Amino acid sequence: MSDLTFDDPLTGGGIPPADVHHTARPGKIVCIGRNYREHAKELGNEVPTEPLIFLKPSTSVIGDGDAIVLPEQSERVEFEGEVGIVIGDTLARASESDAVRGIRGIVALNDVTARDLQRKDTQFTRAKGFDTFCPIGNVATGARDLTRLTVITRVNDEERQRASTSEMVFPIAMLLSYVSHVMTLEPGDILATGTPAGVGPLAPGDVVEVEVEGLSMVSNPVRSRA
| C-beta of residue 194 within 8 angstroms of C-beta of residue 34 | yes
At its nearest, how many Å lie between Zn ion and the CB of residue 31?
5
In the sheet that holds 77-79, the strands lie side by side as 113-114, 77-79, 200-201
Size of the site for Zn ion (CB under 5 A): 3
DSSP three-state, residue 183 = coil
Give the per-residue contact string, 134-173, with Zn ion (x = CB under 5 A; - = no). Answer: ----------------------------------------
Cα 220 from Cα 110, distance rounded (Å): 10
Single out the residue of 60, 118, 138, 195 in contact with Zn ion (rule: CB under 5 A). 195
- State which residue, 20 or 163, has the beta carbon closest to Zn ion: 163
- State which residue, 20 or 40, has the beta carbon closest to Zn ion: 40
- State which residue, 153 or 177, has the beta carbon closest to Zn ion: 153
Cα 120 from Cα 198, distance rounded (Å): 21
Please give the angle made by the CA atoms of 108, 111 and 113, to the nearest 5 degrees. Answer: 155
At its nearest, how many Å lie between Zn ion and the CB of residue 220?
16
- State which residue, 141 or 195, has the beta carbon closest to Zn ion: 195
- State which residue, 111 or 211, has the beta carbon closest to Zn ion: 111
Tell which positions 77-106 bind Zn ion, by CB under 5 A.
Answer: 80
Please give the angle made by the CA atoms of 50, 56 and 59, to the nearest 5 degrees. Answer: 165
| C-beta of residue 106 within 8 angstroms of C-beta of residue 212 | yes
| C-beta of residue 169 within 8 angstroms of C-beta of residue 147 | no
Cα 162 from Cα 147, distance rounded (Å): 15
Q: Is residue 111 within the footprint of Zn ion (CB under 5 A)?
A: yes
Contact region with Zn ion (CB under 5 A), list: 102-110, 111-119, 170-178, 216-224: 111-119
At its nearest, how many Å lie between Zn ion and the CB of residue 203?
20
Q: Taking CB positions, which residue lies at the least distance from Zn ion?
A: 111
Q: Which stretches of the chain bind Zn ion, using CB under 5 A?
A: 80, 111, 195
